[in-house]
Amino acid sequence: MFDPSTIQARLLQAVQNLAADNWRETHRAGDSELPVASRAHIEVGNRAREQLEQVAIAVGIPGSVLAYHRAAGERGQRYRPGQALLSTEQISRDGLLAGYRRLVHDLQDSAGIVAAAGVRDLLDHSTFAAYRQALGVAWQHAGAIAAVLDLAETERATAWTRGTSGWVRAVAQRAAALDQKVLLSRLVHTAAADPSAALVPLAVLGEAGITGSDIIAQMPIGPDDMVEHLTTGIRALPPAPAHGIDAAIAATGIDTQHDPDPAASDPDIGPPPGATPGPDIGQGL
């Protein structure tokens, strides 16, 4: 038997009712084709439900219980408090902490993407604003989940740990090494996403009692400061090794920083015998 906490029950209610709402919207038109507005409504509802389910799993709701409530909603049934919830799944604290650590590392990597893009001068104002909003929502998700899990200080510190030299250096190295096409792809994909569905779990958790102060208390650093620290960390890294043609040239031992013409550096060496001066093309730039 699974006995959900108040917050877990609120998440299950939201998942089931969203699924039921989409069921009603799907059957509203009968045999007629769904209007554009209905299709858009269903799409947003599905994305919001998926976001809710991710949070539900992160705070310890068994997958089988979640699937039961989703299926009930997809049959048009709205949530009823006090339902018997049978589940044999064992959710361990260690498993939840491992999942939270992955979530924090994803957040760190996301901050590294925008920091690396800024260092390479790949950001325009609109893309940065959209990405910053998405990063802020992801940061709130991490803080809200930590608040539901009621992380101890040592558990929180472990989640933020990355390598032996600190998470900032580890993430800075990872972001700086990304190919520019990969970096741009991730940047644009995140910036282009509609954040409205991701806000739904925050609203549900807020109604269940998770406050902004609870979120802030669980997060050791804000999203803007994360980007600032990572920007500084990336700029402090040694230059990346040459690739492609630059690496090939470097391997030859040729000094490309100097004029390769020996006559340019030795006044005693003149033109070869029989050479004629070229046409006068005028003063150079």
Would you state the pLDDT for residue 241?
62
pLDDT (tens digit per residue) in 17-65: 999 999 999 887 666 788 888 888 899 999 999 999 999 999 999 999 9
168 close to 229: Cβ distance less than 8 angstroms:
yes
Would you state the pLDDT for residue 242?
52
In this prediction, residues 87-93 reach a mean pLDDT of 89
The whole-angstrom separation of Cα 253 and Cα 249 is 7
In this prediction, residues 169-186 reach a mean pLDDT of 95
Any idea which residue has 């005028």 for tokens?
A: 282
In this prediction, residues 122-127 reach a mean pLDDT of 93
| Nearest residue to 80 via CA among 18, 19, 13 | 13
The pTM for the full model equals 0.81
Q: Is 80 exceeded by the pLDDT of residue 86?
A: no
Q: Is 90 exceeded by the pLDDT of residue 276?
A: no
pLDDT (tens digit per residue) in 241-275: 654 554 555 555 554 444 444 444 444 434 444 44
Would you state the pLDDT for residue 283?
39
